[in-house]
A = this chain, B = another copy of it.
Amino acid sequence: MNGRSAMRLARLQEALAGGGTIHLSEAAKLCGVSEMTIRRDVAASDGAMTFLGGHLMMADNPQFAPVYDLDEQRGSHYLAKQRLCQGAASFIDEGDTLFIDCGTTLMPLLSMLGEFEELTVVTYALNVANAVGTLPNVRLVLLGGLYHHSSQSFGSGEMYDAVRRLGINKAFISAAGVDLERGVSCFHFHEVAPKQAALESALCRILVVDASKLGVVRPAYFAQLTAFDVVVTDAKAAPALNARAGGANRPPRVMVA
């Protein structure tokens, strides 16, 4: 890659910075070179941009990432999450105000919200906000603050109070670890405040986790299992969770999706 090539790449990158795509022919016009030169530039670059059917786009844009690959295991993972979210969605009623946690577990749930007439979603995650922002029937409240790349979510000192001020019907919480003795945990400490605030203010608290999280403890503890009304999980995790039912004073109901 030479100087002029780098210049062209920078120019294109700037054009694409705000999101969107640009057709090869237009990229060529913009830079005043042939389409072939643009192809060569992009091929010789560090892979920041790629072509998708003749359209140039930023490669690192998660929007362009293939949802999943049926040939790999990711497909089954996705379908499992989908099933889990279908179970979770059965708790939603018309007009509800929902708290939706960060992470990828609850993403399939968002597409199911289109079925309703009117809902309100409260979240502190950027990926959730982007997905909900496209739904015309859902009011979106995003709890802002300092952005954390790691979890695509926001954290702030006022998060706890901000959540408490809202009238949340149902809280859908995800977790990175669920242990019968040591409780429910996640990776990032800034997630603790919004999760706990949602658990305290929501009328119905729903934990959505698959079997891979069972028996795992992560750095940031945020609740005991008894803090939830319902645990939506898969068939593999259900027995262990149900066994607990007898011992605890107020065990959550276990729903197998």
Contact = CB atoms under 8 A, between A and B. Distances in A.
Interface string A1-32: 00000000000011111111111001001100
A126 interface: yes
Contacts of A53: 51-55
Given A60-B134, A130-B126, A110 B147 contact: no
A126 B129 CA distance: 8
A111 B18 contact: yes
Nearest to A115: B10
A17 B55 contact: no
Q: Which interface residue of A13, A78, A130 has the most chain B CB atoms within 10 A?
A: A130
A243 interface: no
A65 B107 CA distance: 22
Contacts of A110: 17-18
Copies in the assembly, this chain: 2
B15 A131 contact: no
Interface stretch (A67-75, A184-192, A214-222, A228-236): A67-75
Interface in A127-148: 127, 129-134, 136, 139-147
B68 A14 contact: no
Contacts of A64: 20-21, 63-64
A43 to B, nearest CB: 16
Contact of A139 (B13, B124, B146): B146
A129 B143 contact: no
Given A23-B66, A55-B66, 18 more contacts: A13-B111, A18-B107, A18-B127, A18-B131, A19-B63, A19-B131, A20-B62, A20-B63, A26-B66, A30-B70, A53-B55, A60-B134, A124-B144, A126-B130, A136-B149, A140-B147, A141-B147, A142-B154
For the complex of A and B, the 5 pairs showing the least CB-CB separation, nearest first, are A53-B53, A17-B111, A144-B144, A18-B107, A140-B147
29 contacts: A13-B111, A16-B67, A16-B111, A17-B108, A18-B107, A18-B127, A18-B131, A19-B127, A19-B130, A20-B65, A23-B66, A26-B66, A26-B69, A26-B75, A51-B53, A52-B53, A53-B53, A60-B134, A61-B63, A61-B134, A63-B63, A64-B64, A124-B144, A132-B147, A133-B149, A136-B149, A140-B147, A142-B144, A144-B144
